[in-house]
C-alpha cells in the first residue's frame, strides 16, 4: 500500500515540478523566478524523499537534507543580490596612518 501511495505522490510532485519549471521560464519578473526556483527546490526534495520511501532506503533522506540546506542558502543569496546588488558586503576599513 505504501508503494502505491509513494508512486502516486511521485507522479503528483513530478507534475507540480513541471508546472513550477514553466513558471521559472515564463515568470514575468525576477522575484517570480526566484520564488519558482525555491519552489522547484522544495519539489526536488519531495521527489527525493518519496523515491526513498518507494524503494525502501534511508540514504535518500540525507541527500534531501543536503539539498534543503543548499536551497535555503541559494534563495537567501539570490534575494540579497536582488535587493542590494551584491552578495558580500565589505565593511569600511580604517585608513592606515602614515
DSSP one-letter string for 31-59: HHHHHHHHHHHHHHHHHHHHHHHHHT-SH
Domain spans in the chain, listed from the N-terminal domain onward: 2-83
Grid-cell match 522575484, residue found: 31
Mean pLDDT over 74-84 rounds to: 88
Predicted pLDDT at 94? 61
Specify the CATH architecture of the domain 2-83: Orthogonal Bundle (1.10)
Mean pLDDT over 3-29 rounds to: 94
* The overall pTM is greater than 0.75: yes
Label residue 97 by pLDDT band (50, 70, 90). low
Amino acid at each position: 500500500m505504501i508503494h502505491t501511495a509513494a508512486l502516486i505522490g511521485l507522479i503528483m510532485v513530478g507534475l507540480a515540478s513541471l508546472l513550477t519549471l514553466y513558471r521559472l521560464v515564463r515568470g514575468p519578473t525576477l522575484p517570480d523566478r526566484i520564488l519558482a526556483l525555491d519552489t522547484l527546490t522544495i519539489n526536488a526534495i519531495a521527489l527525493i524523499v518519496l523515491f526513498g520511501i518507494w524503494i525502501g532506503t534511508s540514504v535518500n533522506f540525507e541527500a534531501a537534507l543536503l539539498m534543503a540546506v543548499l536551497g535555503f542558502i541559494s534563495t537567501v543569496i539570490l534575494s540579497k543580490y536582488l535587493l542590494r546588488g551584491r552578495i558580500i558586503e565589505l565593511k569600511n576599513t580604517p585608513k592606515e596612518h602614515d
